[in-house]
Amino acid sequence: MTQSTHETDRTNWTVDYTDVEPIRLRDPVAEALAVLQPGDPFVVTYRDVVKIAGHSCPTAAGAYRIAQDGLEALYPDELPVRGEVAVLAGGPRTDPSYGVTSRLISYVTGAAGEDGFGGLAGGHGGRTDLLRFGAIGTAGITYEFTRTDTDETVRVTYDTSKIPDAGPATRHLPSLIDGEATADERAAFAEAWHGRVERILRGDGFVTVDGSTKRSADG
């Protein structure tokens, strides 16, 4: 079978996120089915997360940073492995913040609920019941990531109180929704809205990682 050339993304992006550090993960199922060479990573970019969410916003950026920082802490010297990361969300699935962030974190890590992929023969690469919802009891949006091979756990918190304000340009949103915004109004809104997303993606202090915790009893 010949290997096809990866098609360039022809989406006409208004915002350039190509230099945001991507997330690289191994996927044993992709390797077993000859999608990837053994040891080669899938590369997940913030653009990929935007496509899944359908938009770019502080919640999507926060989910990306939670996954990125958590996996880096959990696997400091090797690539994270899909199917070997259990995720505990610190709030209910029905909470708007946890509902959105958990979906995006599931996309990155592969961790899924009871409807997840059961794995190849013998459960190889299975992801069922690796995503759970509980109560961690901290401020902000908090997740715990656990390696199923070592039981090592890290706790990651996204401090939503530090999300920068988008400023007065957000007053143009109703006009954008109605399709009545001028080019200048659209540009002003885009600069303000995506400027704060960029700060979350690149800045310090939004996400903290605690590597000394144990998985909560509700997990």
* pLDDT over threshold 50, residue 213: no
* pLDDT over threshold 80, residue 8: no
CA dist 87 to 79, 144, 181, Å? 17, 6, 41
Which residues, 6 or more positions from 16, have their beta carbon under 8 angstroms from its beta carbon? none
Mean pLDDT over 29-58 rounds to 93
Alpha carbon distance 144, 194 (integer Å): 28
Highest mean pLDDT: which range of 33-42, 62-71, 158-167, 192-201: 62-71
Task: Label residue 32 exposed, middle or buried (CB < 10 Å: 0-12, 13-18, 19+).
Answer: middle
Angle separating helix axes 183-202 and 58-74, nearest 10 degrees: 20
pLDDT of residue 114: 84
pTM over 0.75: yes
Which residues, 6 or more positions from 208, have their beta carbon under 8 angstroms from its beta carbon? 156, 157, 159
**What b/e sequence results for 110-146 when a residue is b if at least 16 CB atoms lie within 10 Å of its CB, and e otherwise?**
bbbeeebbebeeeeebbbbebbbbbebeeebbbbbbb
pLDDT in tens, 100-153: 999 999 999 999 988 877 777 878 877 889 999 998 877 789 999 999 999 999
In 10 A of CB 214, how many CB atoms? Answer: 12
* pLDDT over threshold 60, residue 212: no
Which residues, 6 or more positions from 53, have their beta carbon under 8 angstroms from its beta carbon? 59, 60, 100, 103, 104
Alpha carbon distance 136, 156 (integer Å): 11
* pLDDT over threshold 90, residue 206: yes
Residue ranges per domain, the chain? 23-162
